[in-house]
Amino acid sequence: MSILVVGSVAFDTIKSKYGERHKILGGAATYFALAASYFTKVRVIAVVGDDFGAEQESVLTSHGVDIRGIERAKGKTFHWGGEYGDNLNEAQTKFTDLNVFANFQPNIPAAYNDSEYLFLANIQPTLQKQVRDAMPKVKLVGGDTMNYWINNTRPELLETLKGIDILLINDTEAKMLTSDSSVPRAANKILEMGPRALVIKHGEYGATIFFKDGSYGFGVKAFRAPALPIEEVFDPTGAGDSFGGGFMGYLASQKEVTREVLKHAMFYGGVMGSFAVERFGPERLQNLTRQEIDERFNMFRSLTHLD
Amino acid sequence: MSILVVGSVAFDTIKSKYGERHKILGGAATYFALAASYFTKVRVIAVVGDDFGAEQESVLTSHGVDIRGIERAKGKTFHWGGEYGDNLNEAQTKFTDLNVFANFQPNIPAAYNDSEYLFLANIQPTLQKQVRDAMPKVKLVGGDTMNYWINNTRPELLETLKGIDILLINDTEAKMLTSDSSVPRAANKILEMGPRALVIKHGEYGATIFFKDGSYGFGVKAFRAPALPIEEVFDPTGAGDSFGGGFMGYLASQKEVTREVLKHAMFYGGVMGSFAVERFGPERLQNLTRQEIDERFNMFRSLTHLD
């Protein structure tokens, strides 16, 4: 089944201890789309400027990603610059040139109307809600957000959350959204805000999914997938979005979203996140095989599997 | 089989958002011994002062813990005071009154000589080595250490590590010991220092065991056990030592230390750590049943088990 992602397609300038890259392809929707493309058909809604060329397009189209929803606007493409120090979980932002992204107004091409899965990547919550409301027939809606929206557009975000089935955020965002320092308690509070399930990403420690149906407390209402202990993290940019792409892409590839399918999706999310950080930008996500993905899935499994 | 633990038996004065306790029983060897006592026979070597009475003794002896190795010295028992803020992974130390612990010289009672397992809890590395060298016939040696010894007695610690089979430390200590910000890389370096296996405890995110035999890299040479998402962490004091007690105690209860047994031990370590934090001090560890332990083991399993 096809999945539609709305979010940023951007240029990134990144520095880590392993080197630097200038103006490489980035953006949440890019990482998400590439990761999801190994599982299902992906469609993208985004905006780029006139510095976005055939080379960048082909990164997506060569993976079968439908980019008819990527609008060309006059001006430059969103450009983010960041640097990673020893703490790979947090980038130091050097600059954020929103450029054409500042006036992004998502337009849904008619050809996208039959999308069955929708992912609202990290953009202004009111825009997320507009897209969600324009797609009443989708089977499942995933979403992301970030500290900026939590702090500055909280009422709008709370409205948006009501239309999201599965929210994917990290520990810091979960704590910030609920003003609660306990992750499991924060999870319970977020599940009262709308989502039926909540994925909290723990960076190098994996991710946990919390289900709404009953207190997960000491039962089986939560599930934790590990992250692979990776010795050389070249560039953590996009790891969370790649997790989202693997997670949602796998869901969309299955007939039904059962509890067991969600657990497997957690592992596939971790797998795609682990590939993303092995090279700069989305380099590694561009040349994977499904066999490599499944081999790594088995490594993840053996990392936690008790006979 | 019996396990001998050498470490601190102390009084703790603890404050967390759930309340406070004055001069309750604490110390690494106490948590370790109580947790391990549910799996095997435990013997303790420690020193206490004349303020340590029958009430404290009976906490240990009522769990079958052999305390003949707990020496009575003139003076007061080691007393630690700490407070937990929002970050439950780090205590703010208010005071550390070493008292009789300052001159601790471990003496091994003759009756302890046939101990098959040995755990060197967090004490001065030279003392750890003395005990280890005095017990040449033990089957397996586990050990712990902390930032203070890493920074101030590094050469001595490196000597001690050569005699430890399984080292149990946390992320911060692993990074400090190797001056490496990457946990998996730090793990590889530590496995060159002596231990055949290394358990790195990640607090609320669980723990990972790294095995020496070959690069764990992208294979199955590492194993990760989760921690239970606990909403109300009353008091994290002793969680790591309780993990150690569950881990080593389970090992000592098994005929052979196979890879599969080590994996189960990781889960039992997490289980005992999760009980420890539910109440103040070692309160919860004092009144468990093996059935409760096994039920929680199954919860841990279902938290990560993929069919």
How high is the pLDDT of residue A215? Answer: 47
Closest of B123, B132, B76 to residue B104, by C-alpha: B123
Examine the pLDDT at B252 and tell me if it is beyond 80.
yes
How high is the pLDDT of residue A233? Answer: 87
pLDDT tens readout for residues B204-225 = 999 999 998 754 444 448 999 9
How high is the pLDDT of residue B214? Answer: 53
CB pairs under 8 A between A and B: 94
Q: What is the average pLDDT score of chain B?
A: 94
Q: Is B202 on the interface with A (CB under 8 A)?
A: yes
Examine the pLDDT at B109 and tell me if it is beyond 50.
yes
CB contact under 8 A, B303 and A223: yes
Examine the pLDDT at B98 and tell me if it is beyond 90.
yes
Q: Is B217 on the interface with A (CB under 8 A)?
A: yes
Give Cβ neighbours of residue B47 (< 8 Å, ≥ 6 apart): B9, B70, B71, B72, B73, B100, B101, B103, B104
Average pLDDT over residues B245-252: 98
CB contact under 8 A, B267 and A302: no
pLDDT tens readout for residues B150-209 = 999 999 999 999 999 999 999 999 999 999 988 989 999 999 999 999 999 999 999 999
* Residue numbers in B near A294 (CB within 8 A): none
* Residue numbers in A near B271 (CB within 8 A): none
CB contact under 8 A, B229 and A299: no
CB contact under 8 A, A229 and B183: yes
Nearest residue in chain A measured CA to CA from B209: A303
Label each residue of chain B as H, E or C. Answer: CCEEEECCCEEEEEEECCEEEEEEEECHHHHHHHHHCCCCCEEEEEEECCCCCHHHHHHHHCCCCEEEEEEECCCCCCEEEEEECCCCCCEEEEEEECHHHHHCCCCCCHHHCCCCEEEECCCCHHHHHHHHHHCCCCCEEEECCCHHHHHHCHHHHHHHHCCCCEEEEEHHHHHHHHCCCCHHHHHHHHHCCCCCEEEEECHHHCEEEEECCCCCCCCCCEEEECCCCCCCCCCCCCHHHHHHHHHHHHHHCCCCCCHHHHHHHHHHHHHHHHHHCCCCCCCHHHCCCHHHHHHHHHHHHHHHCCC
User: Which candidate in B211, B268, B304, B307 is best for mutational testing of the A interface (most A CBs within 10 A)?
Assistant: B304
| Gap between the Cα atoms of B124 and B142, Å rounded | 15
Nearest residue in chain A measured CA to CA from B225: A304
User: Which candidate in B231, B232, B267, B293 is best for mutational testing of the A interface (most A CBs within 10 A)?
Assistant: B231
- Closest approach of chain A CAs to the CA of B305, in angstroms? 6
User: Which candidate in B199, B303, B307 is best for mutational testing of the A interface (most A CBs within 10 A)?
Assistant: B303
Of A86, A87, A218, nearest to B228 by CB-CB distance is: A218
Of B188, B223, B306, nearest to A264 by CB-CB distance is: B306
What is the mean pLDDT for each group of 10 consecutive residues in chain A (307 residues)? Answer: 97 93 97 98 98 97 98 98 84 94 96 97 97 96 96 98 97 96 91 95 94 57 88 90 98 94 97 95 96 94 88
* Residue numbers in B near A263 (CB within 8 A): 306
How high is the pLDDT of residue A214? Answer: 53
pTM of the model: 0.93
CB contact under 8 A, A210 and B218: no
Q: Is B95 on the interface with A (CB under 8 A)?
A: no
Nearest residue in chain B measured CA to CA from A303: B223
pLDDT tens readout for residues B163-175 = 999 999 999 999 9
* Residue numbers in A near B226 (CB within 8 A): 224, 226, 304
Q: Percentage of residues in chain B with pLDDT exceeding 70?
A: 98
Chain B, residues 223-242, CB within 8 A of chain A, namely: 223-226, 228-233
| Gap between the Cα atoms of B144 and B79, Å rounded | 20
